[in-house]
Amino acid sequence: MLNTKIWDVRDYTYRLKDYPHFEEIIQMYQEGKRIVLPTETVYGLGGSALNEQTVKGIYEAKGRPSDNPLIIHIYDTQQLDNFVTSISETTLKLMEAFWPGPITFILPLKKGYLCERVTGGLNSVAVRMPSHPVARYILKTAKIPIAAPSANLSGRPSPTTFEHTYEDLNGRVDGIIHSTPSDAGLESTVIDCTSFPYRIARPGTITRQMLNEILPNSIDDTVIDMTEKPIAPGMKYKHYAPDTPLVLIEHIGNDIREDAHDNWNEVAFIIPESLSKYIPKAAKTIILSRDEFDIPNANKNLYAALHQLDELAEIKRAYMYSYPVNGDTEALRNRMTKAANHQVVKDELL
């Protein structure tokens, strides 16, 4: 078990260079240590993408399958020259529109710079430029690309707070940077730019509509179905799941029958606040958003709600409202469906 260092930088978010132990953090990254860092999407388990042993250690700390590729985080697009063979004008246009920010581009790999393990044996590489000020300053100062999957045990809900990642990875990594909660709350949109039209490999808060507004008709409507070898994180293996048995519920518009369950005090509902009036009084409610149209807050609060669910020892089963199907909820429903292992009820409780 490692002695995990903790650095509390919450008071130094926009002046990280003044943090007393900042040089220690940078030196440890450059030496190949594994350090959790905050990003605007979720907290990431970061390490040098140039160091084979570091990347191997990232997989081991998470218990992550070795064919599940890692996302490379960079500070400046000039870094791409080292490990990407080419970038099209259309891809550059999307980068200019959304970087820094919560979007990852899958690009053709130029071999020989990144360690081989980091791409999961693929001929492509997933890259993003985070907007979080702490992550950006670390990337700028360390001057190395950092591989950083979500900082949680593989399959568990992703961490959006220091507390989430501390619970999963304390003693398994070299350090954790304690910063503020993530703003977006869901992992980045991943877009495959190795062929045209582009395809979304993982939906995120940058939506299909937003991409098409920059490049009309550039995004294929189909969803990549990867059952053998994933080209992006979250495509093949179990993800986001709490320990508590969870089922999605598509409709809550009437009072839920009191006789639908014997012990409502053992049941939790993860719902918009506007639907709480329909929930049996004995059941536990966890609020995701104001109403079913408040998608930004639902995105931001989803993983925190799943972590909170597992902290409720008395809860034996949970239902989560799945939100309406539209372009804004694609990423939210993607994570919810995986968290619930595709188990859905329609109106059996009503």
Measured at the CA of 320, the angle between CA 278 and CA 265, to 5 degrees, comes to: 60
Q: What is the pLDDT of residues 134-162, one digit of tens each?
A: 999 999 999 999 999 999 999 899 999 99
Radius of gyration of the chain (CA): 20
The residue to which tokens 């991943």 are assigned = 190
**Which pLDDT value is given to residue 228?**
42
Domain coordinates in residue numbering, the chain: 5-214, 246-345
- Range in 104-108, 115-119, 141-145 the model is least confident about: 115-119
CATH number for the domain whose boundaries are 5-214: 3.90.870.10
CATH superfamily ID and name for 246-345: Threonylcarbamoyl-AMP synthase, C-terminal domain (3.40.50.11030)
**Which pLDDT value is given to residue 260?**
78
**Which pLDDT value is given to residue 60?**
95
**Which pLDDT value is given to residue 21?**
97
Per-residue confidence at 166, pLDDT binned at 50, 70, 90?
A: very high
Q: Report the C-alpha dihedral over residues 36, 38, 41, 44, rounded to 10 degrees.
A: -10
Please, where are the H alpha helices in the chain? Answer: 22-30, 52-62, 89-98, 133-142, 162-169, 208-214, 295-311, 330-339
Q: What is the pLDDT of residues 249-292, one digit of tens each?
A: 999 988 888 887 889 999 999 999 999 999 999 999 999 999 99
- Burial pattern 249-282, b for ≥16 Cβ within 10 A else e, equals beebeeebeeeebeebebbbbbbbeebeeebbee
DSSP-assigned beta bridge partners for residue 331: none
- Joined together, the tokens standing for residue 328 give 């804004």
Q: What average pLDDT does the chain have?
A: 93
DSSP-assigned beta bridge partners for residue 191: 105, 200
**Which pLDDT value is given to residue 349?**
72
Helix (H, G, I), strand (E, B) or coil at 160: coil
Choose between 62 and 239: higher pLDDT: 62
Residues 6+ apart with CB under 8 A from 317: 244, 245, 246, 247, 266, 267, 268
Q: What is the pLDDT of residues 209-240, one digit of tens each?
A: 999 999 998 998 876 654 445 555 555 445 68
